[in-house]
Amino acid sequence: MPSVRSSMLDRAPSQDRQQGDAAAKPRPVAFRGGGFTPAAGRYSGWIALALVIALWQLAGSAGWVNPLFLPAPSAIAVAIYKLAISGALWHHLSWSMLRIGTGWMLGTAAGVIVGFAIGLSTLARGVGITFISALFPIPKIALLPLLILWLGIGEEPKIATIALGVFFSTAISVYSGVDAVPRNLIRMAQSFNVPFHLIVRRVIWPGALPSILAGFRITASVALLLVVSAEMIGAEYGIGAFVLQAGNLMQTDQLLAGVVILSLFGLVVGKFINLLETRLLHWR
């Protein structure tokens, strides 16, 4: 028996591999697996941004472009500095923050509640999806005149416009997130007789959180877009109003200062959501 086993496990002598076509020279197998895995370089984005700003500054300093149409980055930085020193920047920014903060929170709270209802209830899904499908495509800024008519000319219509814009995107991301929670996890919880509220809190909420946070990223942009639009239509203070006034007065350095501040605001919100994702979705 041992001889049978050893004969079964015998390996072919290594020189056998070279028999057959001894004259042919071995060549390496060509590598074909590269590409399709783009990765963001750590510094490449910042270097590219610095290069563009340097080129822009050079164009301004050398007089290649009219500063009325495109002021140099240094001029924009000076404008931001002066706005900060004078207190105007904080005044405008605080009005915009108030509107965005209130509108975003109202829209998010309503969107999360409605999104969960649609994700968990047959009745709410039947009714809710129909309304959301019909109303979501409407540009919310188009409703501002109507909201002014209903709510007056104060802050309410602007906040309501932002809340509406945030609400629809939030509701959609929440019920999509609830739908995406693996059913096997819900069945598992049911198989242990876990009560409904605990399934929602311990299974569905954390399972839907990636989609909800992705929704927050979108709604932060929506809120920024809507606050600027609303302030341009009917506000005395706020970054949108400031940018519009600067444009009307041909103060392009101040106009671009407002745009840079909006961009910085977007970056800060994005970083905050990244932080939230890192803290809350560490298990991924």
Partner 1 sequence: MDLIADHISHRFGALDVLDKVSFTVRSGEVVAIVGPSGCGKSTLLSILGGLLRPSEGQAELRGAPPADSLNPLTFVFQDFALLPWCTVEENVAFPLAHTGLSPTERRAVIDDALRRTGLSDFRGTYPKQLSGGMRQRVGIARALAVRPAILLMDEPLSALDSQTRELLMEDFIRLLADGAMGAVYVTHNLEEAVRLADRIVVLSRRPGRVREVVTISMTRDERGAIDARGKLLALQNELWSLIREEAIDAEREVQHA
Site string for partner 1, 202-241 (x = CB under 8 A): xx--xx----------------------------------
Determine the Cα–Cα distance for residues 258 and 89; give it in Å rounded to an integer: 9
Q: How far is the CB of 135 from partner 1 (least distance, A)?
A: 33
Which range touches partner 1 (CB under 8 A), out of 2-10, 29-37, 183-191, 251-259? 183-191
Buried/exposed code over 63-88 (b: 16+ C-beta within 10 A; e: otherwise): eeeeeeebbbbebbeebbeebeeeee
Sign of the C-alpha dihedral, residues 190, 194, 197, 199? negative
194 near partner 1, judged by CB under 8 A? yes
Q: Which pair of tokens denotes residue 22?
A: 């001894």
193 binds partner 1, rule: CB under 8 A = yes
Q: How far apart are CA 247 and CA 242, in angstroms?
A: 9
Q: Which is nearer to partner 1, 195 or 270 (CB)?
A: 195
Asked if 122 touches partner 1 (CB under 8 A), the answer is no
Radius of gyration of the chain, Cα coordinates, nearest whole angstrom: 30
Interacting residue with partner 1 among 19, 44, 184, 278 (CB under 8 A): 184
125-to-102, 174, 261, 269 alpha-carbon distances in Å: 27, 12, 40, 31
Give the separation between CA 254 and CA 78, rounded to whole angstroms.
Answer: 9
Tell me the window of 103-111, 126-134, 142-150, 193-201 that interacts with partner 1 (CB under 8 A).
193-201
Nearest one of 211, 216, 189, 214 to 200, comparing CA atoms: 189
CB-wise, 166 or 208, nearer to partner 1?
A: 208
Taking contact as CB under 8 A, which single stretch among the options 97-105, 147-155, 179-187, 215-223 is the one that binds partner 1? 179-187
- In angstroms, give the least distance from the CB of 183 to partner 1: 10
Binding residues for partner 1, rule CB under 8 A, total: 18
Q: Is the CB of 14 or the CB of 184 nearer to partner 1?
A: 184
* 180 contributes a contact to partner 1 by CB under 8 A: no
Please tell me the distance from the alpha carbon of residue 161 to that of residue 138, in angstroms, as a whole number. 12
End-to-end C-alpha distance for the chain, whole angstroms = 53
We find the least distance from the C-beta atom of residue 204 to partner 1, in angstroms, to be 11
Rule CB under 8 A: say whether 198 interacts with partner 1.
yes
Q: What part of residues 55-94 is at the interface with partner 1 (CB under 8 A)?
A: none
Q: Which residues bind partner 1 (CB under 8 A)?
A: 184-185, 187-195, 198, 202-203, 206-207, 283-284
